[in-house]
Amino acid sequence: MSRTKAFVHDLLEEQYAPSVRAQTVRTFLIILIVLNVVAYMLETVQEISLVYRHWFLRFERFSVGVFTVEYMLRIWVSDQCLADPRPVGCRLRFALRPLMIVDLLAILPFYLPLLIPMDLIFLRTLRLLRLARVLKLGRYSDAMKVFGAVVRNKKEQLAVVCFILCILLVIASSLVYHFEHPVQPGAFESIPEAMWWAVITLTTVGYGDVYPVTVMGRLMAAVIALLGIGMFALPAGILSAGFLEWREKERQGPAKCPHCGKDIS
C-alpha cells in the first residue's frame, strides 16, 4: 500500500523532477481542463448546443469522473506531503488548501443537483462554477505559482494600496455627488450611484454615460483621473519589485545554516 501511495503521489504531486508518466498525466489534465472551458463556451451557442447536447453531456460526465478521481487521490496521498500523525486532520488540512478548494469547486456543480433539489434559476447560477476548472491550470503552471508567491510576499503593501484606493473612491464619489446632484439629480442620485462614475474615472476608462457638467465637477474629475493613473500604477510597481526580489533569491540559492552549512528548506 505504501508503494502504491508513493507512486500515486509522484504522479500527481511531484513538481521538481517529474517522471515521464507524471508529465503525461499532467499534460492530459491540462488538455482536459482547456477542453472543458471550450465546451462550456460552445454550449452557449444555441445552434451547436441543440445538435451536440448529448455529446456535451457525455464529455461533462467523463470530465467530472476524471476530476473526482484526481481529487480523491490527492486527498488519499496527502499524508505523503504533510507530516501529520493524524490521518483525518492531515487530510482535512490538505483539503483546505486553495488549490484543493478550486478542485472541489470544479466538480461540485455536477453533484449538488443530484444530492439537493434546486430550482432552475439557482441551478443555472451554480453552473457558473464550472469555470473554476480553468483555475486548475494554476496547479500545473510554474509561472502562476511564482506569481502567487510574489503576491503573498507583497500582500501587506498591496492591501495598503487597495485601502487607499477605497478611500479615494469614497472621496471622489462624495465630492461629485455634492457638486453635480443639484444640476443632474438623475445621473448623480446618491453617493452609491456616483461610485460608478468614480470607478470609471479612476480607471481612466471613461464610458461617457455619466459625466460632470459644472466647473467644479469637471475640475475635480480631471484631478481624480490624474490620481487614478498614479494609484493604479502602484500595484504594478509593487509586483515588479516582488518579482525582482524573487529572482535575486533564486540566483543566490537556498539559505545556508550558519552551524552546519547545509541548505535550509
All structural domains of the chain, each given as residue ranges with its CATH number in brackets, are 2-140 (1.20.120.350), 155-252 (1.10.287.70)
> pTM of the predicted model, to two decimals?
0.64
Per-residue pLDDT 10s for the chain (265 aa) are 678 887 887 788 766 556 788 888 888 988 998 898 888 888 888 889 889 999 999 999 999 999 999 999 988 888 766 655 677 777 888 888 888 888 888 888 888 777 777 665 555 566 666 676 777 777 776 777 788 888 888 889 989 988 988 999 999 999 999 999 999 998 899 999 899 999 998 888 888 888 899 999 999 989 988 888 888 788 888 888 888 888 887 777 655 555 555 555 5
Q: What angle do CA 160, 166, 168 make, to 5 degrees?
A: 105
Amino acid code (one letter) for 85? P
Which residues, at least 6 apart from 134, have a Cβ–Cβ distance to it below 8 Å? 33, 36, 37
Cα gap 98→138, rounded to integer Å: 11
